[in-house]
Structure 1
Amino acid sequence: MAFSPITHIRHFDIAVPDFDKQVEFYRNHWGLTVQHDDGDVVYFAAEGSPEQYVTRVRRSTDKRLDLVAFGAADRESVDTLAQDLGAAGVKIVSEPDALQTLGGGYGFRFFDLEGRTIEVSTEVEVRKHRKIEEREAIPVRLSHVVLNSNQPEAMRSWYEKHLGFRLSDTLNHPHAGDLFYFMRCSTQHHSMAIARGPHASLQHASFELRGLDEYMRGSGRIIRAGYRKIWGPGRHAAGDNTFTYFIDPNGNTMEMTTELEMIDEDSWHPHIYDVQEPETSDQWGTGGDMDEFITKEMFNDSDNDHLFVAPPV
C-alpha cells in the first residue's frame, strides 16, 4: 500500500481480572483521568490529548488485549480501507458504521493476521484537553503500542500491505535474526512495533510525558508507589526516546517515555541495530542491560485463547 489511511494511534483496550487494582493504578499513580466509568468498563484519558480516551479497562475473568484503535482522516478513508480489507480476505468484525463507544465517530473493526481486534475510526468527538505544565509529571498522550508475535516477519508484511505502515528501524541479533520492527503511520518514529516472542500478546504500551524532568518525576512517582520497575531509566537508540518500564497490577508492561524521534519521510532510511551493542538498548547506560529476565517479563501472558474472538464492547 503506497499511502496509509491510518493517521495515528488512538487507544489500546485491555480486559483484566484484577479490575479494581488496575483502575487504581491508572487513576491514582500513572496519572490518567477517568473520562467515563460504567462500573465494568473505565475509559481513561490523558490530560494533554484530544483523544476521548487512550486506554480502556474492562472487568473480566480473563486477561486479554481487547483491541488496538487507530485514527483515519475521513469517512472515505474508512470505507475504502474496509472494502480493500474485505476484498483481500481479511475478516471484518463489524462494517463501517456509527460507533457506540465513548466519543462516537464512524469506524469498523477487523482481525489482523494473528487474530487481534483492530479498530479504525474517524469523526470521533474531540476531548477538551490542555497544555501539560512544567514539572507536571502525567502522560501527555499515548505514544505507542508493541505487540508480541511468533511470526514477526509476516506481521510486519501484513501491516505494511494492508494498513500502509512503514518500517522505521529494526533490532537484530546476528544469530537470532530480527527481533523488533518499529512501524510508523506518521512522522512519529513508531506508533506500533512488532516484537519476536513465543505467542501473541501485548508486549508493552508507552505513554509520552512532557519532557525529561517530567519523565523522571513520573518514573520516580511510580517507583515510590511500590510498583515493580523492570528496566530504566534509559534512552533507546531506535527512536532516541527515553524509557522506564513497570509491571502493572495485572502483569502487563507499561512504559513512561519522552522525546520520541520525529522523522523526515523524504530522507529517512531504516537502520538495523545490533542488540549485542549496549548502546542499542540504552545509550545512557543507566538502565542496565536488556537481559533474559526483562525479555520474559515482556512476553506477557498469551492471548492465543482470545485470537479471532472480538471483545464484547
Structure 2
Amino acid sequence: MRLLTHLRHVDLAVPDYDEQLDFYAGVWGLTKVAEDSGISFLAAEGSPEHYVVRLRRSDEKRLDLVSYGAASPADVDTLAEQLLAGGVRLISRPGTIDTPGGGYGFRFFDVDGRTVEVSADVEVRRHRKIEEKESIPVKLSHVVLNSPDLNRTREWYERHLGFRLSDTLMHPRMGEAMHFMRISNQHHSMAIAQGPHTALHHISFELRGIDEYMRGTGRVIRSGARKLWGPGRHLAGDNTFTYFLDPQGNTVEYTTELELLDEDTWHPHVYDFSRPEVTDQWGTANAMNELVAKESFNDVDRGCFVAPPV
C-alpha cells in the first residue's frame, strides 16, 4: 500500500548561506517566505507547498532532509508503525511540525543515512497561476540521490515507502546507473544514481512550459551561474533538462513536461545511456562526459545518520 502522495521540499545546509539565499531567491526564481536566524524557507510561486527549499547556515555542507507528503495523520501514524516494525530507525515520533505551514509528521533515516520527513495536514499556501513567458519555477519536480549501492537503496524505498520502478539507465561498461522511482503517475518523484558515496545528485524544478523553460535557462546562464548540461530532452521521463551548479556546488535542474504514466499498463524500460538519443533526444545539449557526471556526484554528505539540528 502506498502511503506517500508527493514530494514536498528538499532542505540544504550550507556554509555560504547569504550567497545561496541570493541565488535561490534571486537568479533561480524562488520566493523567500520566512527567515529566522540563519534558516530560510523558499516557495515556488505556483506551488501550494509552503516551501520547496529550506536553507540552513552551517559549517558543513549537507543534505538536511527530503520531505514527502501523506494524505492524512492516520497515514502518517500507519507509516511510522510500519517503519518501526520493519526495523527502520526513527529520529522522531509522529507529532506537530513547527515549520511554515505546520502539519503532523515525523522523521527517520533511510538505508543510506539520509533524513526523510513525512507529513500530513500541512496548510495550503496561497499560490497563483504562472503566466505565459514567466520563467520561474512552478513547483518542485523531483530529487535525485547518489547511493554507493543503487539496488540496496531502490529495494529499501520499494519495501518501506511504496516507491515503484519506472525506468532504469544502464551503461555497457558500468552496468546499472540510475533507477527512476515513482509514488504517483508522475514518471519519477525521486531517482537513485550510482555514486561513489551518499550525497545529493540534483534537485529539479518544473517550469510552466518549453518557452518558459528556455527563457529561464537563458536567464540563469546570463547570471554567470555555471551550466553543467543542457538544454536537452531526456528519453526516460521525456522531460526537458538544463543543469546548473548552485554557489555551493549542488546541482539544480530546470525541467518541464515530465511524463505522466498509466500505472496499470506501464512496464519499466532499461535504457542504454551510452546512446546519445537516450540522454538527449533533441541533440542540443553538450555531451554527457565524465566531468559532467563527476560534478553531480557532489561532495561526501557529512549528514549520514546525523539528524539535522532543526
Superposed, 1:87-98 pairs within 5 Å as 87-98=85-96
Percentage identity across aligned positions? 64
SS at match of 1:95: coil
For 2:99, the equivalent position in structure 1 comes to 101
Distance in 1 between residues matched to 2:287 and 2:163, nearest whole Å:
30
Distance in 2 between residues matched to 1:177 and 1:156, nearest whole Å:
15
The reply on whether 1:308 has 2:297 as its aligned counterpart is no
Amino acid aligned to 1:252: N
For 1:201, the equivalent position in structure 2 comes to 199
> Structure 1-normalised TM-score?
0.98
Distance in 2 between residues matched to 1:125 and 1:255, nearest whole Å:
27
Q: CA deviation digits over 1:254-292, x for unaligned, max 9?
A: 000000000011111101000111111000010022110
SS at match of 2:92: strand
Query: What stretches of structure 2 of length at least 5 have no aligned partner?
Result: none
1:39 to partner: Cα distance: 2.9
Amino acid aligned to 1:268: W
SS at match of 2:63: strand
SS at match of 2:142: strand
Amino acid aligned to 2:308: P
Aligned pair partner of 2:76 in 72, 75, 78: 78
For 1:13, the equivalent position in structure 2 comes to 11
Distance in 2 between residues matched to 1:43 and 1:141, nearest whole Å:
14
Distance in 1 between residues matched to 2:189 and 2:214, nearest whole Å:
22
For 1:173, the equivalent position in structure 2 comes to 171
For 2:133, the equivalent position in structure 1 comes to 135
The reply on whether 1:269 has 2:267 as its aligned counterpart is yes
Q: CA deviation digits over 1:181-228, x for unaligned, max 9?
A: 000000100000000000000000000000000000000000000000
> Structure 2-normalised TM-score?
0.99
Q: CA deviation digits over 1:40-80, x for unaligned, max 9?
A: 10100000000000000000111000000000011111101
Query: What stretches of structure 1 of length at least 5 have no aligned partner?
Result: none
Amino acid aligned to 1:308: F
For 1:27, the equivalent position in structure 2 comes to 25
1:4 to partner: Cα distance: 1.1
1:175 to partner: Cα distance: 2.6
SS at match of 1:296: helix
Q: CA deviation digits over 1:284-308, x for unaligned, max 9?
A: 01002211000100000011x3211
Distance in 2 between residues matched to 1:99 and 1:312, nearest whole Å:
14
For 1:294, the equivalent position in structure 2 comes to 292
**Corresponding residue pairs, total:** 310
Aligned pair partner of 1:257 in 235, 255, 258: 255
